[in-house]
Structure 1
Amino acid sequence: MEALLAAGCDGITLFGTTGEGAEFSLEDRTKTLEAVIAAGIPAGRLVVSIGALSLPDVVALASHATRQGVHGVLLMPPCVYRGGITEDATFRYFAAVIDRVALSALRLYLYHFPDICGVPITPQVVRRLDERYPGMIAGVKDSGGDLDFTMDLLRRFSHLSIFTGSEIHLPELIAAGARGTICGLANVMPRLMRAMMDEATAFDRRALLPLIFAGDAILSRRPFIPSAKAVVADWLDDAEWRRVIPPMPDIAMLERQHIVADFRAWDAGLPEPWRSIAAVPTTTNVVDLKRA
């Protein structure tokens, strides 16, 4: 994690979707957060994803992370009931979490990812929560992949931190006032992602997208999470990093070797300041990149 921060990542999101966070137990997640902070990672540079099926578990994770002094917590609606969930029910879910946590220091990022959970977080829900709990709704992470939807959030909620999970939209969104990205690719190409974030104009940022797409295309030959873990395992020379949690599929050895070799070649072809493999051992947790 220190290396990721040194490579330009402004923070780390623990137990997000790329890190298979929802598959870990409450005890695993609380102990890991404590260990990360004890190892010297500043709590203020951490966002903790607290998604779980049990409301008491969500509340416990939110309370624990908030008391540890993290920057914020990230929560999407649970994914059990994918149909018929109304805006009012979604509002009541988040309201129940906030009321039960009952900590004024809580900073909640709403996680819009309907492809995973099946329940959208609409602007109306964001508005109601922001009005009911002023100062506690820190922002939105939008992984819906709809540029118009994200732009609408930016127009409506300029006082909130809006992050995208879609790297393809970053050039336009940064120009429109988005805070940045919380994304999986920054785990394996942090220097290139940092370079794009630091470009002065949307035109200059778009010029780097083909390089990012080329690296992503290699990882996307197979499911992204085990592909990213294979790259990390190779960098660290530690096969334990290849492990995935059921039902996440593994990758056959020959396919994995080709992915790793091709990704190494892609990275080596980048300008030296943008290369990440040699200098930056990394982690499979989602990374939070935002503007300085």
Structure 2
Amino acid sequence: MTNDVLEGVWPAVTLPFSDTLALDEARLAEHCAWVVESGCEGVVVNGSLGEYEALTDGERAAVVETAVAEIGADRVIPGVAGKSAAEARRWTDHAADLGVPAVMCLPPTSHAPTGAEVIAHYTTVAEVGLPIIAYNNPWSTRIDLTPDILASVASDVKLVVGVKEFSQDVRRVMHILDLMPEFQVICGCDDVLVESVMMGARGWIAGFANAFPEQSVALYDRSSAGDIEGARALYAEMLPILRWDADPRFVQAIKLGQELAGRYGGPTRLPRLPLDDEDVTQIRYDTERALSAGLGPADS
């Protein structure tokens, strides 16, 4: 890590479930180790890709503890989303006890909160004392953390130091940085990675890095180095599959991508259902295209 709370590529890891839909902690540990060994900086656990809403409290705690035990606390950022501020703070307390460097937190998910309620929510979570990456996902929450709202939150809650930006509007990167030059904007949507980094995003909480971490790291590195030609060439091969990260079936798509890459993906828990044959065919084609993308000697 640098002074930024998160830099480089951090997969939001999927969770391996057995055929009976039991959490497989051994496979989770192995997966976390593999993506780090493949060049990723660390992992984000208990995000939307990690199906946190389908977990029991015991499973959700075990996910964080398993990742920390396998790759070290400094490489793990837990999602602490909760319907209430008390719930989000409870998960932040758990994260702090394990020694992680920061947490990722949605606004309250119980209702469409006012701006003042968003600030109150993050104020409560910040009482634990850990840096907070706000998570803007207007597609699955009831509020859009616009640049103006983020600026108000960061002004009142100093420990909110960055945002995982998933609005899919790359214009926001520079807007946020115009308002808060020291704030860290982190790309949270795979299919706007290159544009976001070139506009000033510093970090990528990635989905398909679960399937092909080496290609993902190469794409991020080329983008952050300003290698427009190299980034564009690799992006052209990866973009068709990366677009699935913005689809409601992204969890199933990424787990299938893992299987196609020779990794264990496994099933999803309800309410997510298996993909239909047409989607499987398309994801197979898109994944194979990304996996065959050429990496130069400096990137492999």
C-alpha distance in 2 between matches for 1:220 and 1:146:
12
Of the candidates 264, 270, 286, which is equivalent to residue 293 of structure 2?
270
Is 1:16 matched up with 2:42? Answer: no
Partner of 2:110 in structure 1?
80
CA displacement at 1:233 relative to structure 2:
4.0
Is the 2:45–2:79 contact (alpha carbons within 8 Å) kept by the matching residues of 1?
yes
Equivalent in the alignment of 2:226: 201
CA distance in 2, matches of 1:130, 1:257: 42
Two-structure CA RMSD over aligned residues (Å): 2.8
1:2 to 30, 33, 54: 33
Structure 1 counterpart of 2:119, one-letter code: F
TM-score of the two chains, using structure 2 as the length reference = 0.77
Answering whether residue 50 of structure 2 is matched by residue 27 of structure 1, we say no
Q: Is the 8 A contact 1:171 1:202 kept in 2?
A: no
> Displacement, 1:110?
0.6
* Letter aligned with residue 143 of structure 1: F
Count of paired positions: 264
Deviation at 1:5, TM superposition (A): 1.1
Cα deviation 1:93-127 (Å, max 9, x = unaligned)? 222332xxx333x1111111111102022334333
> 1:8–1:190: 8 Å Cα contact kept in structure 2?
yes
Structure 2 counterpart SS, 1:115:
coil
**Gap regions ≥5 residues in structure 2:** 1-31
Q: Which amino acid aligns with 2:170?
A: L
Structure 2 CA distance for aligned equivalents of residues 186 and 170 of structure 1: 12
C-alpha distance 217-107 of structure 1, shift in aligned 2 (>3 A)? closer
- The alpha carbon displacement at 1:266 in A equals 2.2
Structure 1 residue 235, shift from structure 2 partner: 4.9
Aligned to 2:20: none
8 Å CA contact 2:241, 2:287 repeated in 1: no
Mark the CA change 1:263 to 1:167 in structure 2 (over 3 Å): closer, same or farther: closer
Residue 144 of structure 1 aligns to a residue whose secondary structure is coil
Query: Equivalent residue for 2:270?
Result: 246
Deviation at 1:247, TM superposition (A): 1.2
Contact 2:46–2:52 (CA under 8 A) maintained in structure 1:
yes
Structure-1 residue corresponding to 2:80: 50
Whether 2:212 is the aligned partner of 1:212: answer no
TM-score normalised by L of structure 1: 0.79
Greater Cα shift, 165-174 or 24-33: 165-174
Aligned equivalents of 1:113, 1:218: Cα separation in 2: 16
**Contact 2:118/2:153 (8 A) holds in 1:** no
Aligned to 1:287: none
Aligned mates of 2:263, 2:42 — CA distance in 1:
25
Question: In 2, distance between residues paired with 1:58 and 1:49?
Answer: 9
C-alpha distance 228-121 of structure 1, shift in aligned 2 (>3 A): same
Name the CA shift for 1:235/1:146 in 2 (closer, same or farther; >3 Å): closer
Identity of aligned residues (%): 21
Matches within 5 A, 1:131-280: 131-134=155-158, 136-199=159-222, 200-201=225-226, 203-204=228-229, 205-216=231-242, 223-233=249-259, 235=261, 241-252=265-276, 254-255=277-278, 258=281, 261-262=284-285, 265-271=288-294
- Residue 142 (structure 1) shift: 0.5
CA contact (8 A) 1:111 1:142 kept: yes
Which ranges of structure 1 fall in alignment gaps of 5 or more residues? 280-292
Single out whichever of 225-234 and 211-220 deviates more from structure 2: 211-220
Q: What residue identity is the alignment partner of 1:18?
A: L
